[in-house]
Structure 1
């Protein structure tokens, strides 16, 4: 159970009592198209070791289902495209599949979604007409078992299902898929199932680098793309693509269907022409994606809308066909060591390798504004840190201990460091589009105390010790610390009794 409080446009969780906050969820895709992968038991242990709670698999492999028994991990199970014909033709095929592949393991193994078909518009053979009948038969089988309200049925799609995605407000589904799209959307709306989509800004950048900036694809853009029809500002491609889908759904009058991202990510290695496929870019994309999602800020067109995503993928898969990047989307090598470091909580980068290959500093570090940054870049980064970055910038307000010297560099340095420490003190968290600089000398002065990892904002406390004694620390999943008077907290807690 989790309680949600709305205080001054922010959402806080009472973490001392609760393990989780209500809101968006982050999972991982567990593909097995490789001949050097660990056993399902070892894969499940790796997932549990890193506290991953949601996993998508692409079939109903019995060994995988057994491996996740009693793990608490929620599984999304796939019906492959090769089974669509059989599932769509005869109800008995769906009934038998459920009886043999799901019911013996449920609910010991938690199953919450069944995806019927995967990106059917992208496969050479035209199987799209089979999707809805197969979905209906799977749903009917679940209903006979009394599970149709506990296990949702949907199908996954590529962004190619749209004929237009920019500007987002002009998002529209391709007329080529009208024959199965409308009945599928009616099915989703009737059964409160999500529209599932696989979104890859990487491909948009790789295939059109002159039209798409790398920073925009990596959630690092300091500039804004404006939708001319709505005036909404977009700072990353992911949000723009999500909103294009929502506008496409609204254009067909399906306003209640939620969008779920069933695949997204970034490859760590590619062919010589795939210059953006690097470990640094993969880490940057997934780190920024996780922080963006757990902020629960939604998208420009759907602010505060919860968004569930699945990162692709758990392992590099050496048997996948295509370009080199296709075999290098994994967070882990098959031996269990991490390709790069990633923290699913969004609070910072942690050591994910089984044997350990994270880099650690020998002492504390801080992040300040770089003297080489332009005034405009520094100002934009400061505004972002104190806004979307969820930094408490009270200390740099007039009469507060870090207000003087009243300069852009000084104020930006304080805000940059606060964000840096709250998000794991990683190189990525000190980038600010090149405006940040990591240092080993403590920049604190007088009563202005620069945070270090795990410390509280004592610079505000030193200015008003009375208010400190009345406060209790609330912390979002992002690591943002706000100070709430104890009397207000008690009023909020009593309101739930």
Structure 2
């Protein structure tokens, strides 16, 4: 999937910050829909509903302008079409930083994501050198240690990373056996080393919906929706009551196996569709999102502590092709009314 991240509040819907360092809930900002609100109204929606964080999938200048001074934390993605050029040219990376980062010192940019779900693939070879060149450009501009304050006085530094799907996992069961595929490991092992050196997290899109519809005979829907009455999987001393935790801990196990157990994971997308496919309904979407919000403050069996998580997505995206569940992840209609109520906190 490809969209951004925010906090939301609508007709009884409250998504507030979960603070543990810079950890928070965000909601993705998808723009591939008809009739979406003006940028100033979208940002106003975040502010009026205490939206804490956003993921945007390209450095849209209008959105960055609208975010000035809001303290909304932001993940800014690098367009896939630019990654090869940024990998091959330090000057190109400097130009990208000069155009998209330096002009916005009052935008709370948390992470720069070099690529979304392109490992493994034709562009995978360019991800690490592009990350390195962008980091060097930030260093040269003295931005790598620039501290920004959020609304509740938490602090963060801009970090360069990449976002991957859980397709990079070749083994995910049990979670302690988690390991990257051979192909993905060739790219992710050196990337994980880079992240270890800079203190940046790995961004991972975790969507139990896809795991469930891919194997509904073996995965109970309650396990995917956080509604299991008790543990479903026992892995040594650890017990797993939901699929989200199992996938995230499998990713941590895979990082440990490439010598990067200290790298933190930020969940850069997670959601459930309300239409367009098997088990896609407003009720299931509401159940998943509400339970996700309530859960991520606790962490996983393997890694207790708040999980910085970005919900997919703010609005439905009816222009996405092919048509299907990807068109139906929105929390809000284009008129900014909530699709369903989330009674949390």
- How high is the TM-score relative to the length of structure 1? 0.62
Counterpart CA distance in 2 for 1:112 and 1:326 is 26
Match of 1:430 in 2: none
Counterpart CA distance in 1 for 2:31 and 2:184 is 30
C-alpha deviation, 1:306, in angstroms: 2.7
Deviation by residue 1:435-456 (Cα, 9 ceiling, x = unmatched): xxxxxxxxxxxxxxxxxxxxxx
Alignment partner of 2:223 out of 206, 212, 216: 216
Counterpart CA distance in 2 for 1:291 and 1:55 is 19
Alignment of 1:317-396 (within 5 A): 317-342=317-342, 346-347=344-345
Higher relative contact order (CA 8 A, sep 6+): 2
Alignment of 1:446-461 (within 5 A): none
Aligned with 1:121: secondary structure? coil
Match of 1:403 in 2: none
* Alpha-carbon spacing, 1:44–1:201, altered in 2? closer, same or farther (3 Å): same
* Alpha-carbon spacing, 1:22–1:220, altered in 2? closer, same or farther (3 Å): same
Alignment of 1:113-152 (within 5 A): 113-121=111-119, 126-149=122-145, 150-152=157-159
Is 1:164 the counterpart of 2:160? The answer is no
Aligned with 1:263: secondary structure? strand
Counterpart CA distance in 2 for 1:199 and 1:168 is 14
Aligned with 1:266: secondary structure? coil
Contact (CA 8 Å) 2:170, 2:179: kept in 1 or not? Answer: yes
C-alpha deviation, 1:293, in angstroms: 1.3
Alignment of 1:172-321 (within 5 A): 172-228=179-235, 230-271=236-277, 274=278, 276-294=279-297, 297-303=298-304, 305-321=305-321
Counterpart CA distance in 1 for 2:204 and 2:314 is 18
C-alpha deviation, 1:341, in angstroms: 1.2
* Alpha-carbon spacing, 1:45–1:154, altered in 2? closer, same or farther (3 Å): same
Contact (CA 8 Å) 1:333, 1:339: kept in 2 or not? Answer: yes
Deviation by residue 1:368-412 (Cα, 9 ceiling, x = unmatched): xxxxxxxxxxxxxxxxxxxxxxxxxxxxxxxxxxxxxxxxxxxxx
Deviation by residue 1:46-95 (Cα, 9 ceiling, x = unmatched): 11111011111011110000111111211110102111111101011111
Q: Which runs of 4+ in 1 moved over 3 A?
A: 19-24
Q: Which is worse superposed, 317-326 or 109-118? A: 317-326
Alignment of 1:47-62 (within 5 A): 47-62=46-61
Contact (CA 8 Å) 2:162, 2:203: kept in 1 or not? Answer: yes
C-alpha deviation, 1:323, in angstroms: 4.2
Aligned with 1:77: secondary structure? strand
Contact (CA 8 Å) 1:77, 1:113: kept in 2 or not? Answer: yes
* Alpha-carbon spacing, 1:200–1:317, altered in 2? closer, same or farther (3 Å): same
RMSD: 1.5
Contact (CA 8 Å) 1:169, 1:227: kept in 2 or not? Answer: no
C-alpha deviation, 1:20, in angstroms: 7.4
Alignment of 1:390-409 (within 5 A): none
C-alpha deviation, 1:177, in angstroms: 2.1
Alignment of 1:90-101 (within 5 A): 90-101=89-100
Alignment of 1:469-488 (within 5 A): none
Counterpart CA distance in 1 for 2:19 and 2:312 is 24
Counterpart CA distance in 2 for 1:164 and 1:227 is 16
Contact (CA 8 Å) 1:233, 1:300: kept in 2 or not? Answer: yes
Match of 2:70 in 1: 71
Counterpart CA distance in 1 for 2:212 and 2:93 is 40
Counterpart CA distance in 1 for 2:82 and 2:111 is 17
Counterpart CA distance in 2 for 1:116 and 1:255 is 21
Contact (CA 8 Å) 2:201, 2:264: kept in 1 or not? Answer: yes
Contact (CA 8 Å) 1:129, 1:179: kept in 2 or not? Answer: no
* Alpha-carbon spacing, 1:286–1:172, altered in 2? closer, same or farther (3 Å): same
Unpaired stretches in structure 2, ≥5 consecutive residues? 1-16, 146-156
Counterpart CA distance in 2 for 1:331 and 1:167 is 32
Aligned with 1:224: secondary structure? coil
C-alpha deviation, 1:212, in angstroms: 0.8
Match of 2:24 in 1: 25
